[in-house]
Structure 1
Amino acid sequence: MDDDFYSDLWETITAGDTWHEEITNQRSDGSQYVADQTIAPIVADGEPRAFVAVQTDITERKELEGRLSLYRDIIERLEDPIMIQACEGEFRLVNDALCSFAGLSRDELLGDGEYAFMDEETATTIARQKQRVIETEQPVEYSVEPTFKHSDREAIFYTSRYPYYEDGEIAGTLAICRNVTDLEERTRQLHVLDNILRHNIRNELNVIHGR
């Protein structure tokens, strides 16, 4: 911390104001830590007579915030819908892909659930899967084919849903919804082609055998 930092701190508290800042400090063993620091003056007769300082080590919180920021950046780059939902079902985090399918903005989705933008039958299926994850604390995988009220889009999703924890306690679920619509359509086409080929082969064999 340079001289300007201490000058600003001293100027603030000697003027009778409270100073608050996050600082990077050094422990006695040489390691660095991040602290949330507040210094408040004790004023008597209109003049600061003493100061009270409160400092909280927030290193772990800052590291967690950094990881969450990285995770958010990764999630936003993915083309498949990803979401975190609380145990009650409301969205805590959504990415742009989910907003696009839902036809709603991030602000409209946060705090709400699937029933706000998806057909009721599929939303009920998803609710059961979420409850299963919360009760067992085990991941589940399932497929759904929802329709979306506000975007008129249709898709087939293969979903992996995991338990989501905060402070060591289960707080909801995290879902990654892989859009497999094109794959499913290709599989259907191959199935139809297979049936046609099998039918034609049987007919040709019947002709050969005079049936």
Structure 2
Amino acid sequence: MSREGPDDGDGDGDEGRGDRYRHLIEHVQDAVVEFDLVDGEPIVSSVNRSFVDVFGYDADEIRGEPLNEWVVPEWKLEEARALDANTSSGEVNYREVTRETAAGLREFLYRGIPYEDGAGSGGFAVYTDLTEISRNERRLKVLNRILRHNLRNNANVVAGHTTRLLAELDGPDAETTESAATVERAAHELERLAEEAGHIHRILRRPTDEDADVDIASLARAVADDYRTRSPGAAIEVAVAEGETVRADDRLRYAIDSLVDNAIEHNPSASPRVRIRLNEPDDGADATAAEWAVLHVEDDGPRIPPNERDVIRDGEAITPTHHGSGLGLWLTELTVEAFGGELAFDASDDLGGNDVSIRLRRR
């Protein structure tokens, strides 16, 4: 880059500091253009290597040229001129923009950073390429909506027709009844997958407020009350003190709900036992123990298979045959991850089944 930084009084002077700036800008991955403002229009004075790679324009051919004529699509000129006006007035600009490259249109996070020195006014245009991120987000939204919609609708159709056929059959044999029951269970599982996919979408699309807090006792009791109604045969115990708050928001309920659902759904017992409890730090506990709350969901059912745990806990490679059988544990992991927490798996000493814990910072 052509301009040098000011003398900071440490003996390096303009030349030494300018060399460091140029070295930094030349090696950052964002495309950077340095420009002079001539009658409010940015004229390219230099570009870094990433600009050449991303935009596909050679540094020599674009130097001295109006930047907008090279990178701004004709129908976006009004937007670009408004940004240039802000830069001319000394304002730093941040905006997602569409810009033209030698290979076509791409999407960028644009930052326009003005400056003035003895040589006049100018600035830097910094472009972070968001193209693949934006495209992937749109694709995932489309796939998520289509998948959830089709799963839910088709599952409802299958379950409804299976129930009707069973009612109309004249004394079906045991094999037919079992086959129909299997189809019905599969349909309800598809409905649940669609619901869990919807929860995951809500977790991922909503930004996390670092200042948020939630009463974990209220969430635990609400989940327990819900499942006492839905699964009256289950014995659900809640041991969470009043007033315990953690750094999270109401989406934490998805994680607790998913763990309780998993404990009941995968327990072959007619009366599964589930306990939701919160670790209470001892009086002599160290600062770390007091700072973190650990919510345990224990059960008396079969242990979660190792491959189900490992793919989530240990970052095992996700493959077509190694990804977990459902979305419930993924929903819990992604929820806890969103709040800067940790999910862990162990065996329950008291109940003999699973002990799945959620670790979050206390408020």
TM range (shorter): 0.5 to 0.7
Please, which of 112, 122, 134 is the counterpart of residue 161 of structure 1? 112
The 1:147–1:175 alpha-carbon spacing in structure 2 relative to 1, beyond 3 Å, is: closer
Detail structure 1 runs of 4+ shifted over 6 Å in the superposition. Answer: 59-62
Q: Which of 42, 65, 68 is the aligned partner of 2:18? A: 68
Partner of 2:47: 94
Secondary structure at the aligned position of 1:125 is classed as: helix
| Count, aligned residues | 148
* AA matched with 1:162: I
Distance 1:62 1:122, change over 3 A: farther
| Cα shift at 1:172 | 2.2
Deviations 1:16-47 (CA, angstroms, capped at 9, x unpaired): xxxxxxxxxxxxxxxxxxxxxxxxxxxxxxxx
| Cα distance in 1 for residues equivalent to 2:12 and 2:44 | 23
Q: How many Å apart are 1:60 and its aligned residue?
A: 9.0
**Equivalent position of 2:144 in the other structure:** 194
Quick check: 1:102–1:117 contact (8 Å CA) kept in 2?
no
The aligned residue for residue 58 of structure 2 is 105
- The answer to whether the Cα contact below 8 Å between 1:160 and 1:177 also exists between their aligned partners in 2 is yes
CA distance in 2, matches of 1:64, 1:174: 18
CA RMSD of aligned residues (A): 2.8
> d(CA) in 2 for partners of 1:121 and 1:63?
44
1:134 is matched with which residue? 88
1:79 to 14, 21, 29: 29
CA displacement at 1:203 relative to structure 2: 0.4
- Superposed, 1:1-211 pairs within 5 Å as 63-88=13-38, 89-118=42-71, 119-135=73-89, 137-148=90-101, 151-167=102-118, 171-204=121-154, 206-207=156-157, 208=159
Mapped partners of 1:61, 1:108: distance in 2: 37
Secondary structure of 2:50 counterpart: helix
Work out the CA distance in 2 between the residues paired with 1:110 and 1:62. Answer: 29
Does the CA contact (< 8 Å) of 1:114 and 1:123 recur in 2? Answer: no
Query: Any gaps of 5 or more consecutive residues in structure 2?
Result: 1-8, 162-363
**Cα gap change, 1:201 to 1:104, in 2 (>3 Å):** closer
Q: Which residue in 2 is equivalent to 1:50?
A: none
Task: State the TM-score, normalized to the length of structure 2.
Answer: 0.36
Give the secondary structure class of the aligned counterpart of 1:147.
strand
TM-score, normalised via structure 1 length: 0.60
Task: Flag the structure with more relative contact order, 1 or 2, with Cα contacts below 8 A and sequence separation at least 6.
Answer: 1
Shift of 1:91: 1.2
**Unaligned ranges ≥5, structure 1:** 1-58
Q: Match for 1:121: what amino acid?
A: W
